[in-house]
Amino acid sequence: MTRDLATHASKIVATDLDDALLKKAATSIADANVEFLHTPGGRAEFPPGTFDFIIYTLSLHHIPESEMPGHLEHSGAMLTKNGAIVVIEPGNGGSFLEVKKRFGAGSGDERPLTEAADRVIHRLHGWTCVSTCLFDVDFLFSDKNDFISNKLPNHTALETDKKIDLDRFLTKHETERGIILSSQRKLTVMRRG
C-alpha cells in the first residue's frame, strides 16, 4: 500500500513499532518521498497540520480498546484542517477469515478486536464516519506447503481430523496459479464534525 500511495503523495511517513519490519520495508520501497519512522511507543510526534491523511492499516484493532480513542485523537491533532483519518480493518467475510477461524491460521479470529475498533471509531467524540467501503483482497500461496509455512506454522499440532479438513479446505481453493484465499476489508474515513 505504501508503494502505491507514494505515487500520489508528496510525502509518506510510514510508522511501526517493529524496527526490523520497517527496515525490511525500506529495502523494498526506495521512493524518495517515503520516510520510515520507528515508533516504539506506538505514536508519532508531528506538529498540528502536518498531514492530510493518517491511515491505520490493519493496526487499530491491535491497540487495547481503552487506548484507541487517545490514539485516534493524537493522530487527529496532526492533521490539516480538512484532514481525515482512514481506518482499514479486517472485514467479516472471505475464505481467509474462514481458515483463520477454523484452523487458527495467521493471527487467528480477530473479530472481537475489529468489532471493538469499529465501536470506537463510530463513537469517537468530535469525529464523524463519513464513508465506509468494503472490498476484498486475495492472498496467493504457491501450494499447501507455502500456506502452512507462512500462515499455520503450528500445523503439526493439529489433530488428524483437523489436518484432513484443512487439506480439503485448501484443495477447494486451488487454482492454476496456486491457492487463492480472499479476505474482506473495511475502509472507514473519519473527519472532524
Give the model confidence (pLDDT) of 175-187 as tens digits: 999 999 999 999 9
More confident residue, 25 or 129: 129
> What is the band of 3 on the pLDDT scale with cuts at 50, 70, 90?
confident
Instruction: State the average pLDDT over residues 145-152.
Output: 94
Which pLDDT does position 7 carry in this prediction?
87
**Where are the chain's structural domains?**
46-192
- What's the distance, Cα to Cα, between the start and end of the chain in Å? 28
Residues 6+ apart with CB under 8 A from 42: 17, 63, 71
> What is the band of 2 on the pLDDT scale with cuts at 50, 70, 90?
confident
Indicate if the pLDDT at residue 108 is higher than 80: no
Q: Considering only CA atoms, which of 95, 20, 13 is closest in space to residue 47? A: 13
Instruction: State the average pLDDT over residues 74-83.
Output: 96
Identify the CATH class of 46-192.
Answer: alpha beta
Which pLDDT does position 26 carry in this prediction?
87
Which pLDDT does position 131 carry in this prediction?
96
Residues 6+ apart with CB under 8 A from 116: 61, 65, 68
Cβ atoms within 10 Å of 188's Cβ, excluding its own: 21
Q: pLDDT digits over 51-70, tens only?
A: 999 999 999 999 999 999 99
Q: Considering only CA atoms, which of 99, 25, 107, 128 is closest in space to residue 59? A: 107
Indicate if the pLDDT at residue 106 is higher than 80: yes
Indicate if the pLDDT at residue 49 is higher than 80: yes
Residues 6+ apart with CB under 8 A from 89: 56, 58, 60, 61, 114, 117, 118, 185, 186, 188
Which pLDDT does position 6 carry in this prediction?
85
DSSP strands (E only) in the chain: 12-16, 34-38, 51-57, 79-90, 127-141, 179-192
pTM given for the model: 0.88
Q: Considering only CA atoms, which of 137, 153, 59 is closest in space to residue 96? A: 137
Instruction: State the average pLDDT over residues 16-45.
Output: 89
More confident residue, 130 or 111: 130
Asked if residue 95 lies in contact with residue 101, where contact means CB atoms within 8 angstroms, the answer is no
Which pLDDT does position 115 carry in this prediction?
95
Which pLDDT does position 155 carry in this prediction?
87
